[in-house]
Every structure is written in C-alpha cells, then in structure tokens.
Amino acid sequence: MSKKKIILDLDTGIDDSLALAYVIANPDADLVGVTSEYGNVHVELAAENSLKILELLHHPEIPVFIGESHASTKDSFEVLPTSQRIHGINGIGNIQLPTPKRQPEKTSAADFMVEAAHQYGKDLIIVPTGPMTNLALALEKEPHLPDLIGGVTFMGGALTVPGNITPVAEANINQDPEAANKVFHSRLPLTMIGLDVTHRAVLTKDDTAIWRMIGTPAATNFADMLDYYIDIYLANQAYVGGCALHDPLAAAVAIDPSFVTTIDLDLKVDLDEPYRARTIGDEMRIHNKPHTKVAVNLDVPYFIGIFMKYLGKLFQNTKEN
C-alpha cells in the first residue's frame, strides 16, 4: 500500500502542533507540506509556529506555506481572547523555541494545494484543522479539485453535540462559515471530525508525565505545551477530563479511517442567525448519494494507544542532533 500524502492546513495552535507531530511520526504517511491559516493566531505566526515545531522535531525539510489572513467575507482578523487563553499568547502554550532558521515558501497555501493535487492525485488527503478559507480558495482556483484528490478530512463542526464557541457552532467553522459551506457543497470527498468525537479523545497529565520521562527537548517542550492546554481545559471544560485532541484525531483518521465510525450525510452550514455556523444535514440533498462522512463514534483506547506509541517513538528519536 502506498503511503498517504498529507497536507496539514493549520492555525498552529497547541493541538495543531500535535497533529504535525502525529503525521511526522506515522510510518504510513508522508507530510508533503504544511499550509497556514489564521485562527488560533494570525497566519504569519501560525507559519512561524509550524517552522519552529518542525525544527524541534528534526524535520526542517518539510515546506511551510502562508495562507489567507482573514475570512473570505471579511477584510481583517483579530485573534479572539478565548483563543489566546486556550493556546497562549504565542499559540504554543507560551513555550519558548528558537527563531526558525528558514522562512515560509513563496507559493501561497491555495496554490500549493492545487499543485499538490496535480502531483499526487488520489494519494493526497488535505487535512484542514482551522478555518476552511484556504481550501475554499483552492476550489475556486481549481474546480476539478474534487476529481483529483483522495479526500479532505477536517477538524470542525458538531453534529450531535453543542458547539464550543456558540451553543451551536464549533470554533473553526465559526471563523469562516461561508468558506466551509462552499466546501460542503463541492463534490470533495469529505470526512468531518467534529466535537462529536474529538471531545472523547482526551490526554491527561499522566500521559505528559510519560513524555517528561523521555527527557528529549521535543518531549519536554510538548509536555510543557500540553500541560498548559490541560490546565485551561480543567478550568473551563472540566467535564472533558483532560484536553481534547481535536486536530491530531483528524490527522489520524486521514491516515487510518478505522479509528472512527461514520454516517453518510451531506452537510450544510447555517449562515443566518440564530444558528450561524451550525453544521447540520442538508435537507436539500437528502436524495443524493452523499459525498460526506461524519464521524459519530471513536475507538478511544485504540486511538490513544497508537497516538502515545507514535509520539513516544518520535520524541525518543529526536535525541541526537
């Protein structure tokens, strides 16, 4: 079986950084590029954080691209106070990493997605873990994207549970509901990894203690970053029982769909109040053959077991410089 080619589209944040580590660690995947989104931080800081994490993990060869700086319907973007609280002022739990040795690539995120689609075809899976602005733009630039690539597995939305930014909306979809709605109405083969499953994928300080014992800079920095994130979750959403592994779960399912159970259901995003940014089944397409899978259940021990195994190995292997 050929390895899956992955593009991570990140608003690099703490759980986005974990998604990056997970794909690098997974022997069944090739991370062909990291595209950057605004969201948890401004887009330039998202790119800088990705470059820093890639150096920490000894993978400075993976290219990083800058994406759109704001939602498709707006002309600017400000980081929400909630995001600053959850991810820290610098987006990575306020850990201090060296200034990256390189710059992002000159090609834009959307152009890179289109180029990669032509280069890798059905082997390519795009994994957005922030707003869908870059992907919606790539679709505009290349309307054949749905026929070219293997699929899109995204972190966002909530079908069977409440939202986390409004009672009905999940944070990533809420950043650019119009872009997400365009993606939902394209023919892209989609898999939604929403709060329905990501709130069940939980990491605790017992897990970060294992990383601390590994003792490499990568292990220690990730443990510090995650302990920050866990403390915020325990203060704000104690019912989760630790921190939610939103973005790494989407990355994991992109590589191995068997972690989750899905239902086939084409979705829409509500664009008007009072339900703006809600993800829900599209009543106008219930007679069509769905192109969207929505994850509704997760094999928790299987996922956490594999996640800890791969990250532990990766952190061990960053011992030598």
**Among 26, 35, 40, 186, contact with ligand RIB (rule: CB under 6 A):** 40
d(CA 29, CA 46): 22
3-class secondary-structure state, position 5: strand
129 forms part of the interface with Ca ion (CB under 5 A): yes
72 or 129: whose CB is closer to Ca ion?
129
d(CA 31, CA 251): 11
15 or 68: whose CB is closer to ligand RIB?
15
**Among 4, 5, 9, 13, contact with Ca ion (rule: CB under 5 A):** 13
Token pair listed for 184:
């939902």
Using an 8 Å Cβ cutoff, are 8 and 34 in contact? yes
164 binds, among Ca ion, ligand RIB, none (CB under 5 to 8 A by kind): ligand RIB
CB of 68 to ligand RIB, least distance (A): 15
d(CA 141, CA 132): 14
Identify any residues that bridge with 193 across adjacent strands, giving them in sequence order.
155
CB of 39 to ligand RIB, least distance (A): 5
Helix, strand counts (H, E) of the chain: 13, 12
CB of 24 to ligand RIB, least distance (A): 18
Token pair listed for 251:
């990355």
130 or 177: whose CB is closer to ligand RIB?
130
- Using the structure block, give the residue that is written with the tokens 């610098």: 90
From the candidates 185, 199, 246, 291, give the one annotated as an active-site residue.
246
Instruction: Determine how β-strand 29-36 pairs with β-strand 4-10.
Output: parallel
Of the ranges 9-17, 209-217, 264-272, 278-286, which one interacts with Ca ion (CB under 5 A)? Answer: 9-17
Please name the amino acid found at residue 69: S
Closest CB to ligand RIB belongs to which residue?
171
Site for ligand RIB in 163-182 (CB under 6 A): 164, 170-172
Site for Ca ion in 208-247 (CB under 5 A): 247
d(CA 240, CA 309): 22
246 tagged catalytic: yes
**Among 4, 8, 11, 233, contact with ligand RIB (rule: CB under 6 A):** 11
**Among 6, 7, 8, 16, contact with Ca ion (rule: CB under 5 A):** 16
Of the ranges 12-20, 183-191, 211-219, 252-260, which one interacts with ligand RIB (CB under 6 A)? Answer: 12-20
CB of 11 to Ca ion, least distance (A): 5
3-class secondary-structure state, position 31: strand
The DSSP annotation for 95-130 comes to ---PPPSS---SSBHHHHHHHHHHHHGGGEEEEE-S
Longest dimension (CA), the chain: 57
107 or 237: whose CB is closer to ligand RIB?
237
How many chain residues interact with ligand RIB (CB under 6 A)? 15
CA angle 155, 98, 252 (to 5 degrees): 20
How many chain residues interact with Ca ion (CB under 5 A)? 6
Using an 8 Å Cβ cutoff, are 129 and 173 in contact? no
Summarize as ranges the residues that interact with ligand RIB (CB under 6 A): 11, 13, 15-16, 39-40, 129-130, 155, 164, 170-172, 246-247
Q: Which residues bind Ca ion (CB under 5 A)?
A: 11, 13, 16, 129-130, 247
Residues known to be catalytic: 246
